[in-house]
Structure 1
Amino acid sequence: MSKRFLIVSLILLAFGIGTLFPQVSKTVVAEKSAHSRLDNILKKKKIRIGTTGDYKPFTYWNSETKQFEGYDIDAAKMLAKNLGVEVEFVRTSWPTLMQDLQADKFDIAVGGISRNLERQKTAHLTAPYIRDGKSPLIRIEDKERFKSLADIDQPSVRIGVNPGGTNEKFVQENIKQAQVTVVENNLDIPNMVAEGKFDVMITDSVEARFYAKQDTRLYAALVDQPFTTHEKGYLIHRGDLDFQNWINLWMEEMKLQGKFKELEQKWLE
């Protein structure tokens, strides 16, 4: 070891690296003081899951059992189990989904959330777990009447749509002539179509298929040729790579172990 190197080493020890390089010291302190949401969840032993409870088969509030049910509810319970924590479901709505996330009312939102660029501006959307598209839910007697978007966008056609989500956005952008009514509770619209109060419900193909199976009066039209194509993902806060990476790896493991496939068989087929 040279005398010059020994002298420099002694100086560094005497004055401290932070004194000579304050920016390095600040960076180290910042890294040590920064905690991921993942750390907080593990510390509290609880994860808060935001969900609307109005979008079958992904999320549904069962008023009889007083519990949430659905594809993503089961997935959320698996997520909590894999984390080794309890799950707390927090009710939100499509119009307030982003506001509630930013207000830190929950750690992650689930329930058939479509991945899109607008949502990505203020939050982080995870990797996708299912592909879908917008299709019309109609009465089976009208299956020959509605074969295209042009057939639907007519002055005599009555459309029911829920507020605040991608269904309403699609209707606003693509329906110019038909009569559009916004219905607060998404769960009410399918039955209103079946009873003849509306002619069409524009929704995701998965939901259209689900209701058509539940009610023989209904028909899921154009599901093989949807108006749009999009993917479902989970919504979390931006800027937390540790939590994002854990969620994405968990989703990869869910696919690898066939867990998402099991949920599809239970809820979608």
Structure 2
Amino acid sequence: MLKSALTAVAAFAVGAALMMPATGAARDLDEIIKSGVVKIGVNPNLPPLSSRNTKGEWEGFDIDIGKLLAAKLGVEAEFVPTDVPARVPSIISGIIDMSLGGLTRNSRRMKVIDYTVPLHTENMAVLLTDRIGGKLGKDPASWKELNRDDLTFVECRGCTPAQWVKDNLPNADLMLVENSADMVRTVAQGRADGLVANLDFYPVLLNNYPDTNWVILPDVIKTAYCAIGVAKGNHTLQSFLNIALWEIQSVGLHDQLWEQHYGIPPIVSVKAQPYF
């Protein structure tokens, strides 16, 4: 019943997006420059990608990238809190001019928005706790051992890993929450057995639960490429951002910022590509 309901909701969401105007209220490059402000959608609670510090100031990899892009546009950056499920609708409706926030490229989204060249990668893996050994009778060595009806996974609505769990672990139950912090909290509290998410984001989130013994399965599921999302047909903004990213990536600045915020180099680095 749960899986049928999730399928219906997903189909409705994509269908509704497809019926919306291609560009909606989206602003092109000239309009953004004339306004003096670019509205950038960022995840409100996903450090070190983006979050607010104790002073209420934005910080993180996406924030630094957003500021660099705004400077190249010659405008101010306005960071708009945009949870995962709201990213594509916010682009389509013109609430934001562009979306960062770990927006992975896929053909489903490409029907309703456009992408820039890749900005960074995400490397999906399974996160569990040491409780899993007691439940399975042994410590699992691969995610392929987790397709069981006595296991529950938690994912955020609209995330690529949520669909992956449904496709590859169909016997497991799936719980949906609003953001990555909620996902980690749910597993730490024992309300779910594990989650599938971006391996690069784990260290910061897991530090909030020092009494939990976390287990990351060694077999990385896949590497996905994240890009900047813009409104469908907004080619002036898309082309500008591609050139701006080339300028940033050709000198390795994106990798420097990644290591500054994550403490490690990118697991899979995006190489500068001059052909768009």
| TM-score where L is the length of structure 1 | 0.77
Paired residue for 1:38, among 26, 29, 33? Answer: 29
Q: Paired residue for 1:83? A: 73
Q: Paired residue for 2:111? A: 121
Q: Paired residue for 1:107? A: 97
Q: Paired residue for 2:216? A: 221
Gaps of 5+ in 2: 1-25, 265-276
Is the deviation greater in 118-127 or in 86-95? 86-95
Q: Paired residue for 1:166? A: 160
Q: Paired residue for 1:187? A: 181
Q: Distance in 2 between matches of 1:165 and 1:111?
A: 11
1:56 aligns with 2:47: yes
Q: Paired residue for 1:243? A: 237
Report the Cα offset of residue 88 of structure 1. Answer: 0.8
SS of 1:129's equivalent in the other structure is strand
Tell me if structure 2 keeps the 8 A contact 1:59–1:71. Answer: yes
Q: Paired residue for 1:231? A: 225
Question: In structure 1, what residue type is equivalent to 2:97?
Answer: D
Paired residue for 2:255, among 250, 256, 261? Answer: 261
Report the Cα offset of residue 127 of structure 1. Answer: 0.6
Q: Paired residue for 1:197? A: 191
Q: Deviations over 1:120-145 (max 9, x none)?
A: 11111111122223211122565862
Gaps of 5+ in 1: 1-34
Instruction: Flag the structure with higher helix content.
Output: 1
Question: In structure 1, what residue type is equivalent to 2:37?
Answer: K
Is the deviation greater in 71-80 or in 186-195? 186-195
Q: Deviations over 1:98-119 (max 9, x none)?
A: 2211111111001111111111
Tell me if structure 2 keeps the 8 A contact 1:59–1:70. Answer: yes
Report the Cα offset of residue 212 of structure 1. Answer: 4.5
Q: Distance in 1 between matches of 2:38 and 2:179?
A: 26
Q: Distance in 1 between matches of 2:161 and 2:247?
A: 30
Q: Distance in 2 between matches of 1:97 and 1:114?
A: 11
Q: Paired residue for 1:32? A: none
Identity between Structure 1 and Structure 2 (%): 24
Q: Distance in 2 between matches of 1:220 and 1:59?
A: 24
Q: Deviations over 1:186-209 (max 9, x none)?
A: 212213323333221111121234
Q: How many residues align structurally? A: 233
| TM-score where L is the length of structure 2 | 0.76
